[in-house]
Structure 1
Amino acid sequence: MNKLLSMLAITAVFPFSALAGADFVEGDKTFAGEAELGGTLTTGNSESSSIKARLSMKHELGNWENNYLLEALYNENTDSDDGSTTENESYQAGFQGNYRFDARNYTFANANYYRDPSTGYDYTLTASAGYGYRAYETEATFLDLEVGPGYLYQKLTNEEAALQGVSSEDSVVAHGVVNFESKISDNSTFKQRFVADYGDKLLARSETSLTANIIGALAMKLSFVVRYDEKPLDGKKSTDTETNMTLLYAF
């Protein structure tokens, strides 16, 4: 845990150290966000239901840009033969701060928390800092690339800790992000975000989404999420997927 605290300190200091000699551009305060809520219900040989909630926010002030994310997913599956029920909850919280030198170059620092005991890990913490570059931009489309060093810490569940003989895993990682967004019509937007942390193993997350406006600030969003663990714990799968349809409100 001391290593994690050290990495968090590095991510906090990194953007400030990069400011030496940089000119600050005054700008108006802007704050925007998106709130999502959706659910599914199926019946037949098995009955299942799920609820997905997500809140993302962005705050801009001059050269600074802060991004916040809160997300929760609940699943319940009931076998129609024996009535047995399995439940699973997962949570994610994240923060990233960017300092933009100009329209294309910026430095970043971030921290993320993810909890899903079904993977055998009670929670996963990552922290990283580095350099970002807007590789492509038009009026409707942009492509951002980010790279930098980071740190990964995973706390095993009590059951897995007893089996593995260790309570946690950690490693220094190389952190990379590809973030693409394109407005494909006046009422629809396509997004693709890929995040990878590579150290003792590769952890990756991909989210593909299509958002279509319904009326005013209300929209429908269809998303597909893939989480990949190169070295999953015994008895666990390396890949988890989510397919979500949610209502989105922009503010």
Structure 2
Amino acid sequence: MRKLWFACFCTLTTSLAYAKEATPSPTQIELPSPWKSEIEFGYQAHNGNSDSQSLNSRMNAEYTSGRHRSSGEWKFHMLYKDGEEDKRQSTYTAQSDYKLSPKTYLYGSFKGIETRYSAYFKDHTLSAGLGYQFTNTEQLTIELELGPGYRYQEPNLDEIKDDDIIFPETVQEAIFRGNINVDWNVIDNLTLSADITTVTGLSNTR
């Protein structure tokens, strides 16, 4: 009888010890990284009636901590046609958000475009305002931002044509900015995104 009780006690002790080891402690739970980053690179070459080569690159980083979210992005596009440079453009953006409630947040945004072959050499926009999240889940995110700001545009006189509705002077003016951002995670490896921004000032709307 003593042997039977001893065997039962050993079995129970072993089971409890195994259960204790199998249960992870709170300190062992891995938290998601506050950093997110993306890097893209593309190259195309076409031969035929005309030869062309294009280069595209993109870098993006985002950091989230508590109520704060900060992000930055840089994009570069270059195109050669028949051995001559036809397009060269750099686009860089930076934004910082502060959450006010589950659906509303304050934002500060900067966007700069520098190019050689468009109506403006430089097109810089600075804006601050209020953002609203219609939905923010792992599957779907829809955000709307509205706010005032300031714009600086340096015209490229060599690229402006007579019929273009563009002032040949440097633009420095107050603007109103609207932005809508949509991210839809269709499946695990497929995400559809749309980011549409409209900037309106006395001189033009872009």
TM-score in terms of structure 2 length: 0.76
Superposition pairs of residues 151-190 of structure 1, within 5 angstroms: 151-157=150-156, 159=158, 166-190=168-192
Q: Residues of 2 paired with 1:165 and 1:202: CA distance?
A: 13
Cα drift, residue 151 of structure 1: 1.2
Distance 2:108 2:192 in 1: 25
Which residue does 2:91 correspond to in 1? 92
- Counterpart amino acid of residue 112 in structure 1: K
Counterparts of 2:32 and 2:141 in 1: how far apart (Å)?
22
SS in 2 for 1:95: strand
Is 1:202 paired with 2:201? Answer: no
State the match for 2:63 in structure 1.
59
Q: Aligned pair 1:126/2:129, yes or no?
A: no
SS in 1 for 2:102: coil
Q: Aligned to 2:101, what secondary structure does the other structure show?
A: coil
1:77 alignment partner AA: K
Contact 2:183 2:192 in 1 (8 A): yes
* Cα deviation, residue 185, structure 1: 0.8
Counterpart of 1:144 in structure 2: which amino acid? E
Alignment partner of 1:34 is 2:38: yes
Over 3 Å counting, the alpha-carbon distance change for 1:190 and 1:115 in structure 2 is same
Q: Could you tell me how far apart the structure 2 residues matched to 1:165 and 1:193 are? A: 27
After superposition, the Cα gap between the structure-2 partners of 1:189 and 1:146, relative to the gap in structure 1 and judged at 3 Å, is: same
> 2:34, 2:195 → 1: CA distance?
23
Q: Taking every aligned residue pair, what percent have the same amino acid on both sides?
A: 22
Per the TM alignment, residue 54 of structure 1 is displaced from its structure 2 partner at its CA by: 0.7
Deviation of 1:85 after TM superposition, in Å, equals 2.6
Give the C-alpha shift of residue 93 in structure 1.
1.1
1:48 pairs with 2:45 = no
Could you tell me how far 1:42 is from its partner in structure 2? 0.6
Write the distance in 1 (CA, Å) between the matches of 2:100 and 2:196: 24
Q: Which amino acid aligns with 2:139?
A: A
User: 2: distance between equivalents of 1:149 and 1:53?
Assistant: 30
Higher mean displacement: 53-62 or 134-143: 134-143
2:86–2:117 CA contact under 8 A, matched in 1: no
Q: Which has the higher contact order (CA 8 A, sep 6+)?
A: 1
Give SS of 2:130's match: strand
**Deviation of the 1:172 alpha carbon:** 1.3
- Matched with 1:207 is none
Question: Which amino acid is the alignment partner of residue 34 of structure 2?
Answer: T
RMSD in angstroms over aligned alpha carbons?
2.3
Offset of residue 158 of structure 1: 5.8
Relative to its length, the structure with more strand (as a share) is 1
| 1:124, distance to aligned residue in structure 2 (A) | 0.5
Distance 1:118 1:152 in 2: 20
Please give the alpha-carbon distance, in whole angstroms, between the structure 1 residues aligned to 2:137 and 2:39. Answer: 26
Deviation at 1:167, TM superposition (A): 4.2
TM-score, normalising length: structure 1: 0.63
Partners of 1:184 and 1:29 in 2: CA distance:
23
Letter in 1 for 2:179: V
Cα offsets for 1:39-70 (capped at 9, x unmatched):
11111000101010110100112111101011
C-alpha separation in 1, matches of 2:188 and 2:159? 49
Residue ranges of structure 2 left out of the alignment (5+ in a row): 1-30
